[in-house]
Structure 1
Amino acid sequence: MVTMLILILLPVAFLLPPGAGAGEIIGGWEAKPHSRPYMAYLEIQHEGKTIICGGFLVAKNFVLTAAHCNGDEISVKLGAHNIREQEESQQKLSVRHRIPHPQYNDATTNNDIMLLQLAERAKLNRWVDTIALPSASERVKPGTVCSVAGWGGTSTESESSPDTLQEVDVVVMPDATCSRKPNGPYRGYKSSTMMCVGDPKTGKDSWKGDSGGPLVCGKTAQGIVSWGYCTPPGVYTKVSTFIPWIRATMKRLQR
Structure 2
Amino acid sequence: MALRMQLLILVLFSVAFLLPPGAQAGEIIGGWEARPHSRPYMAYVKIATWRGVKTCGGFLIRDDVVLTAAHCNDEQGKGIVVLGAHNIRKKEPREPRSQKIRVRRWIRHPKYNKMTQNNDIMLLQLRKRAELNDWVQPIPLPHPWPEVPVGTRCNMSGWGWMQVNPAKSSDVLQDVVLEVMADEVCERNLTKPYDAKSMLCAGDPRGKKATLKGDSGGPLVCDGVPQGIVSWGPSNGASPEVYARVSRFVRWIRTVMKQLTPPDAPGISSRT
Is this a same-fold pair by TM over 0.5? Answer: yes
- Whether 2:205 is the aligned partner of 1:215: answer no
Contact persistence 1:25–1:206 (CA under 8 A): no
What are the residue-to-residue correspondences of 1:25-174 with 2, within 5 Å? Answer: 26-70=29-73, 71-86=76-91, 87-174=95-182
Partner Cα distance (1:196, 1:127) in 2? 30
In the alignment, structure 2 segments of 5+ residues that lack a partner are 1-19, 263-272
CA distance in 2 between partners of 1:154 and 1:204 (Å): 10
- Cα distance in 2 for partners of 1:227, 1:25 equals 19
**Residues 25 and 166 in structure 1, CA contact (< 8 A), matched pair in contact too:** no
For each residue in 1:201-235, what CA deviation from the matched residue of structure 2 results, as whole angstroms up to 9, or x when unmatched?
24222143510000000110110000001310110
- Of 235, 251, 257 in structure 2, the residue corresponding to residue 250 of structure 1 is 257
Q: In the TM superposition, what is the alpha-carbon distance from 1:173 to its structure 2 partner?
A: 0.2
Provide the secondary structure at the position in 2 that maps to 1:41. strand
Distance (Å, rounded) in 2 between the aligned partners of 1:156 and 1:224: 21
Question: Does the 8 A contact of 2:65 with 2:126 survive in 1?
Answer: yes
Structure 2: how far apart are the matches of 1:208 and 1:44? 14
- After TM superposition, the structure 1 stretch with the greater mean CA deviation from structure 2, 202-211 or 107-116, is 202-211
* Contact preservation (8 Å) 2:68, 2:217: yes
Q: Which amino acid is 2:37 matched to? A: H
Structure 1 residue identity aligned to 2:54: I
In structure 2, the CA distance between the partners of 1:112 and 1:238, relative to structure 1 (3 Å rule), is same
TM-score (normalised: structure 1): 0.86
Q: Please tell me the root mean square deviation across aligned C-alpha atoms, in Å.
A: 2.0
Judged with a 3 Å threshold, the aligned counterparts in structure 2 of structure 1 residues 169 and 244 are, in CA distance, closer, same or farther, namely same
Contact (CA 8 Å) 2:162, 2:212: kept in 1 or not? no
Equivalent position of 1:227 in the other structure = 232
Greater helix share, structure number: 2
- Provide the residue aligned with 2:184 in structure 1: 176
> Are the counterparts in 1 of residues 154 and 178 from structure 2 also a CA contact under 8 Å?
yes
Runs of 4 or more, structure 1, over 6 Å off, are 21-25
1:52-104: per-residue Cα shift (whole Å, max 9, x none)? 00000000000000000113201000000000113533000011110010100
CA distance in 1, matches of 2:147, 2:214: 24
Q: Which residue does 2:6 correspond to in 1? A: none
1:193 aligns with 2:193: no
C-alpha distance in 2, partners of 1:35/1:79? Answer: 10
Q: Supply the distance in 1 between the matched residues of 2:182 and 2:213 (Cα, whole angstroms).
A: 21
Count of residue correspondences: 233
Task: Measure the CA separation in 2 of the matches of 1:75 and 1:25.
Answer: 27
